[in-house]
Every structure is written in structure tokens, then in C-alpha cells.
Amino acid sequence: MKTDVEELSPTRVKLTIEVPFEELEHAFDVTYKSLAKQVRIKGFRPGKAPARLIDRYVGRGAVISEAVNHAVPELYNEAVQKEDVFALGQPDVEITKLEDGDQLSFTAEVDVRPKFEVSDYEGLEVTVDDAEVTDEQVDEQLDSLRQRFATLTGAERPAQDGDHVSIDLSAAIDGEKLDDVQASGISYEIGTNTMLEGLDEALIGLEAGGTTTFSTKLVGGDYEGKDADVTVTLHSVKVKELPELDDEFAQLASEFDTIEELRADAVTRLGESRRYQQLAQARDRALDKLVESVDIPLPESVITEEIDRRRQSLEQQLSQSGLTKDAYFEAQGQTEEEFEAELTKGANSAVKAGFVLDQLALQEELAADNDELSQYVVDQAQRMGVSPDQLAQHLVQSNQIRVAYTEVVRAKAMNLVVAKAKVTDESGNVVAQDTVETADEETETITVEATEVEAAEATEATAAEADDTEKADKA
């Protein structure tokens, strides 16, 4: 087999592969065995018909096409490994010559990982937020705890902002009542603005047993976005009463006997949380600095796949939550154009970060052993709420073991960057590096699309998944 590699761009190559027909013997053997089981030729048992009769029965051209379909992925894979090409995704294959008994020639264009070195990653200067806990933060923590132990008591007065009410709702459009747009006995907190626009204003000042009507746009359902007159009936008004911050509350809400002990514990817990947030910042900002220091071209196909993956993920989340895109954009305070620009920017950053960490791992000869892979599976299973055995089985069945391996190695590369960085807080205090590494257990590794990882790290797997049908059509 003869192979020639032409660089079309820093991120795309064209392989030209020429194969003498005698080197296709294995592919023809597999093809004849497969066809022999499918055809029925008088005088021969299934699977026993000779090659010459199969050629005559199904046609020599069909036999050659089938053999080429089988051979091309293997030949492509062999060429990629021989030429040390880090292919990304599936190749665009074109048969350029196919002469029976003479030669098979084809080209394969494929995106590749750009060639570069990661340098000057040691000593990156990173500034993170201070980890100091303020009295205001402790007060907020304790107030949140008080909210959990609050009680609701009836109020004999008109409804006010912050009250909890029980209401009925019904709607009408142009005076015609909508039977399928009504609800009874709804519990609602005035001021949260989590239902219909204008509901809060309509409720404030209304007494129990009172009814009022307001105009609004309906959300969700068949009438979404349409103007309607909504009638609300108020059944009861309740006020939330918070417990006093005293020893009795400390004993009720915690294992502590005094409010001083509870407050001290809140300071400790907030301090730990602030340190983890601080250290997560160190990782993110060190990676951002490292990625910014490297100037590399990015393959268009990989960027497109990452954008599509992120867009599909959002659409799935919106579908599950019942939100529309317009409602989501309004909640985020951005236009669709701004969202798309942010999506593209994020995809570019994620792909580039993956390349940088992969290259650093190669340079430093980082690897993952079985224990580290097992720990990764355990950690991910815990986050996903499934058993480690279930996740491990899924990874094997979906051919995602290589993805898990890459995740672990990338995390080790990131640890290396942070360990060698100069991390200080805004007050100039040095953040301990051993604490940074410990905090890594509490942060998620960088996730990339499986196709990218398999292509960059397991060329063999990518080539084996090449589209045989497409090649058959071209043959």
C-alpha cells in the first residue's frame, strides 16, 4: 500500500492511498463468505458456493463494491496510523480508481488536531477572590435556615407583598371563558412573580373571599402569548413567621445547644465553601490564561459539532421544563443573536481547552491507571445518581471508555498547571497549592464531545466507524 499525505490547511489533510488488488484478498474472502450465506445456488449448501459462481450469480461489480466497502475503513485506519495522523471525526472518502485485478485508489480528507507545543505554562499568575467570611454572609446563612423552620399563620387583613395565599384562577379571551385554562387551590407567595404577569399587583390589597380581574398574556399551553382577562379569587392570607435566633432555635435546627455554637459552625462551613469556590476559580482562571497564551487554528467541523451539541442540550432542557426559546432569552436578558454569539464563543473555548490539555498531557507523558479510572466512574456515578456498575456498563456498551480515560488525563494535566501556578487572593495572600489539588476532587473535569476524544485519542475506533454505505455509493 502506498500512502501520500497532503496538508490542505493546518487542521485538514488529504490522504491518497493506492492499493494493489492482491492486497485486497482478505476483503474478498470476507465478502465471498458473507454473500455465500445470503445466496441460494442449486447444488450447494448455504455458505458453500464457490467464488466464481457467486461472481456470476450476484455480478462481479457487486462483489467488488462489497469488498471495497469492507477494505476502505481498514486501509484508511492503517494509513492514519502509519503516517501518525491525529484524525478528528469521519473522513470524506472518494474512490478515484477501481480496476478489477489491478489497483484500488482512493482519497480521504479529514480534519486533524493542529500541531503545537504548550510552553510557558509554569508560573502562571492567577488572582482569585478573598475567602474571608463576613458577618453579612453568616447572617444570610442563618436567615436561610430560619426560612426552613418558618411557620404560616392566618392574617385577618388585605394581602400584602410577601404573604402566602390560596387562590383560584380562570381565564377568558374576548369574553369567552377558557374551560381548560383554570386552576383551584393554588398556593402562591406574593412578590415572587413566578406565575402570570400582573398577578402580584392584582392580589395586593385584596381581602380573603375577594375576586378581581386583570389583563395579561398567557404562558404555556395552546393559548401561549395571547392576551386574556384572568380572574383571581383569594381564599386565604397567611403570614410567614420566622423563629427567633436564640438557643431554642439552635437546638431545634441543629445539633448545637447555643446560638453562639450554631453561628460559629456557620462561619466554619462558609469558610470551607468560600475556599472551594476560591480554588475552583484558580483552576478556571489558570486554564483561561493557559488557553489564551496558545494561538492555534481550530477545525471547523469540531467547532460545529460542539455548537450543535450545546444547542441540542439547551433544547432538551427547555423541552423538559416546558419553556420556549423566547421565554428563555427573555429570562436571560439576551437576544437570540447574542445567545448564538455566546454559544459559538463557548464552543471555541471548550474545543481549544481540550486540545491544549491533550497536548500538555502528551508532552508530560501523563496517563491514567485502572484505579484512577475506577475512581472517576465512582465520582461521576454519584453526581448522576446511578450506581458505579450501571455507569461502567454504559461506558463499555457505548464505547465511551476512551472518553473517561481522556477526562482523567485532562484533569491531571489541569492539576499540573494549577500546581505550578502562582495563586494569590485579592488581598495578596498566597493560596496553598496542596489545597488547590485537594479541591480538584470537588470540581468537575472538562467535558468534550465523545467523537472528538475518540478521533484524537483513538484513531482506530474512529476509522472503524466510517460510513460503509457512503463508500459503497462512491465505489
Q: Cell 494493489 sits at which residue?
A: 20
Q: Where are the alpha helices (DSSP H) in 322-335?
A: 325-332
Rounded Cα distance, 355 and 48, in Å: 51
Cross-strand partners of 425: 128
Q: Quick one: 169 exposed, middle or buried, by C-beta within 10 A (0-12, 13-18, 19+)?
A: middle
The residue among 223, 247, 100 whose CA lies nearest residue 172 is 223
Compute and round to an integer the Cα radius of gyration of the chain: 32
Give residue 4's pLDDT. 93
Residue 247, amino acid: D
Q: What is the pLDDT of residue 400?
A: 86
What is the signed CA dihedral for 431, 435, 439, 440, rounded to 10 degrees? Answer: 100
Which one-letter amino acid corresponds to residue 52? R
Can you give the pLDDT at residue 47? 61
For residues 457 and 405, the answer to whether their CB atoms sit within 8 Å is: yes
CB within 8 A of 46, min separation 6: which ones? 36, 37, 40
What's the CATH fold of domain 151-241?
Chitinase A; domain 3 (3.10.50)
Cα-based angle 313, 319, 320 (whole degrees, multiple of 5): 90
- Total-model pTM: 0.67
Torsion of CA 381, 382, 384, 385, to 10 degrees: 110
Q: What are the boundaries of each domain within the chain?
A: 2-112, 125-130+259-444, 151-241
pLDDT tens for the chain, 475 residues long, are 999 999 999 999 999 999 998 889 888 888 888 887 777 776 676 667 777 787 777 788 888 888 999 899 999 999 999 998 989 888 999 999 998 888 999 999 999 999 999 988 899 999 999 988 999 999 999 999 999 999 999 999 999 999 999 999 999 999 889 888 889 999 999 999 888 999 999 999 999 999 999 999 988 778 888 899 999 999 999 999 999 999 999 999 999 999 999 999 999 999 999 989 988 999 999 999 999 999 999 999 999 999 999 999 999 988 888 778 888 888 888 899 999 999 999 999 999 999 999 999 999 999 999 999 999 999 999 999 999 999 999 998 888 888 899 999 999 999 999 999 999 999 998 987 654 444 444 434 333 333 333 333 333 333 333 333 333 333 3
Judging by beta carbons within 10 Å of its beta carbon (0-12, 13-18, 19+), is residue 262 exposed, middle or buried?
Answer: buried
Q: Please classify residue 182 by burial: count the beta carbons closer than 10 Å to its beta carbon, then call 0-12 exposed, 13-18 middle and 19+ buried.
A: middle
The confidence score (pLDDT) of residue 464 equals: 33
Angle among Cα 21, 47, 45 to the nearest 5 degrees reads 140
Name residue 97's beta-bridge partners.
Answer: 105
Common-topology check for domains 2-112 and 125-130+259-444: no
Q: Which residue has the cell 446511578?
A: 386
**8 A C-beta contact, residue 462 and residue 454:** yes
Rounded to 5°, angle at Cα 217 from 213 and 218: 95
Q: Looking at residue 129, what is its pLDDT? A: 92
Q: Helices marked H in 254-295 — which ranges?
A: 259-292
Q: Determine the topology of domain 2-112 in CATH.
A: Alpha-Beta Plaits (3.30.70)
Q: Which CATH class is domain 125-130+259-444?
A: mainly alpha
Q: What angle do CA 245, 249, 252 make, to 5 degrees?
A: 160
- Angle subtended at Cα 21 by Cα 16 and Cα 27, rounded to the nearest 5 degrees: 95
Element (H, E) at 225: none
Neighbours of 258 (CB within 10 A): 12
- Give the contacts of 404 (CB within 8 A, at least 6 positions apart): 373, 376, 377, 380, 395
Neighbour tally for 286: CB within 10 Å? 24
Confirm if 394 and 156 have CB atoms less than 8 A apart. no
Asked if 80 contacts 459 with a C-beta cutoff of 8 angstroms, the reply is yes
User: What integer pLDDT is reported at residue 434 of this predicted model?
Assistant: 55
